[in-house]
Chains A and B, each alone.
Chain A
Amino acid sequence: MTGLATEQAVWRALDEVTDPDIPTVSVVDLGMVRSVEVTDGRLRVELLPTFVGCPALDLIRRAVAERLEGMAAVVEVEATFAEPWTSDRITPEGRRRLRESGFAPPAASPSGSGAQPLFATIAMRPTATCPYCGSTDTMMENPFGPTLCRAIFYCNGCRQPFEQFKAV
């Protein structure tokens, strides 16, 4: 088997590891996989935590390690902050799956590249499209939801509360 084929197999396997809170999306859908390296019987995967304090991270790391077990003599799964995970990393497929599960996918990341002073983001007004009726006439009720990665909105169109996978 060539190195390339193995790497593809690893990505396919990773696509079977789902988020423990939203089981319809995988770690690949969420853009959590930064790199996959296969060299000389050693397999190394880098994960980007969606939130620094995400309590599911250890669980996800273990699930990834378990799924990849046996694909190489040595399997290493590491979490890194070498680059920030942002919600812009969620794939189009991931966004579709989020919508199907009743979550609004994140709007474009509000804090951008980080060039502007953090203070300026006080004036930020987050937006979301209602996953039920498609209305953009929505408002943020609470920037914090049931998990760190979700915010609560209300749709003025269909008068339903809904959750958004937070734009960060």
Chain B
Amino acid sequence: MSAPDPVPAGAPAAASGLDEPTRRALAGLLLAMADDEFVLGFWDSEWTGIAPLLEEDVAFSSLAQDEIGHAQALYRILADLVGGDPDRIAFGREAQEYRHARLLDHARTDWAFSIARRFLYDTADAARLDLLVASAYAPLAGLVAKMRREETYHLLHVSAWLERLARGGEEPRRRLAEALELLWPDALCVLAPLPGEERLVEAGILAEPLAAAEQRWLAGLAPLLGRLDLGMPFRRAGGRLEPTVPRPASPRGDHSPSFQWLWTELTSVYRLDPEASW
């Protein structure tokens, strides 16, 4: 069964100057990035008030605010490209129409799990943002330049926690290692190729295919995880790191019951009255 077309219908934005296949590929990239940040932001916000330390209540609330802010700005660029209303794109879709990576399908679970997921996502997202900083699509390049400055603090925060848990004695380390092991296959979904991405590379919107970013991401992770004696399910093959775990068939679809639950929560107010101004 083919997934429903994720790109909302609307008047083509003639001003973008892009041909139709490139415009559709760009819309797909924007939707994937926006949905990633949006869904992670809502999972993060669940820690508000119940994190293990007061400082982390503050930190995760700020992370949530950052991610949802990034999503809002990305939905805005998408709406300018394809027509429509950013709020309707953010809240007005069915759960299976969201295009976030499967890594973001998992529920918050425990603290070590949230840190493991954030570490894998933030580092993969960093490699993706690096491909967009000099994008030929000016609205995206401008936003990414701003987002990268904020993501610096996310990386700093999550890598400090990764180390703290990895060196924190038997139970924290065990929980962290188990979470990483469980999440690795779905982490590969963040930089999985997107439909039509070769058009984006040709147009200078994306510096390189996402597969190149994936290799740089893995090469960057290896020393960090190696230093903490945390394994990575990869083998070297012809100078590349190849996963020894299966890649999910549907990297940005076939969403989990956990996400279905989150969707019900995060759209509940919007669905009360989609036309209201809150």
Which A residues contact B (CB, under 8 angstroms)?
Answer: 49, 51-55, 80-86, 109-111, 114, 117-119, 121-122, 124, 126, 141-146, 148, 151-152, 166, 168
Contact = CB atoms under 8 A, between A and B. Distances in A.
A8 to B, nearest CB: 28
A117 B146 CA distance: 14
B58 A111 contact: no
Interface string B114-148: 00000000010011011001000011001101111
A84 B154 CA distance: 18
A124 B63 CA distance: 18
B146 A55 contact: no
Contacts, number: 110
A82 B59 contact: no
Which of A83, A144, A151 is most buried by chain B, counting CB atoms within 10 A of its CB? A144
B142 A81 contact: yes
Contact of A142 (B55, B73, B133): B55
A118 B142 contact: no
Contacts of B143: 52, 81
A109 B234 CA distance: 36
Nearest to B123: A119
A148 B156 contact: no
A117 B72 contact: no
A80 B145 CA distance: 12
Interface residues on B, range: 35 or more
B65 A143 contact: no
Interface in B138-197: 138-139, 142-143, 145-153, 155-157, 159
A146 B57 CA distance: 11
Contacts of B146: 49, 52, 81, 84-85
Nearest to B64: A53
Contacts of A148: 62, 65-66, 69, 150
B220 interface: yes
B212 interface: no
Nearest to B156: A143
Contacts of B138: 82
B133 to A, nearest CB: 5
B155 A111 contact: no
Contacts of A84: 142, 145-146, 149
Given A84-B142, A142-B58, A142-B59, A55 B65 contact: yes
A168 B147 CA distance: 10
B224 A122 contact: yes
A53 B152 contact: no
Nearest to A85: B146
Given A118-B130, A119-B155, A168-B152, 19 more contacts: A51-B150, A52-B66, A52-B73, A53-B72, A81-B142, A82-B142, A84-B142, A109-B149, A114-B145, A114-B149, A118-B127, A119-B126, A121-B156, A122-B155, A142-B58, A142-B59, A143-B157, A144-B62, A148-B66
Most buried by A among B58, B65, B123, B217: B65
A75 to B, nearest CB: 22
A110 B153 CA distance: 10
A61 B138 CA distance: 23
B255 interface: no
B102 interface: no
Contacts of B82: none
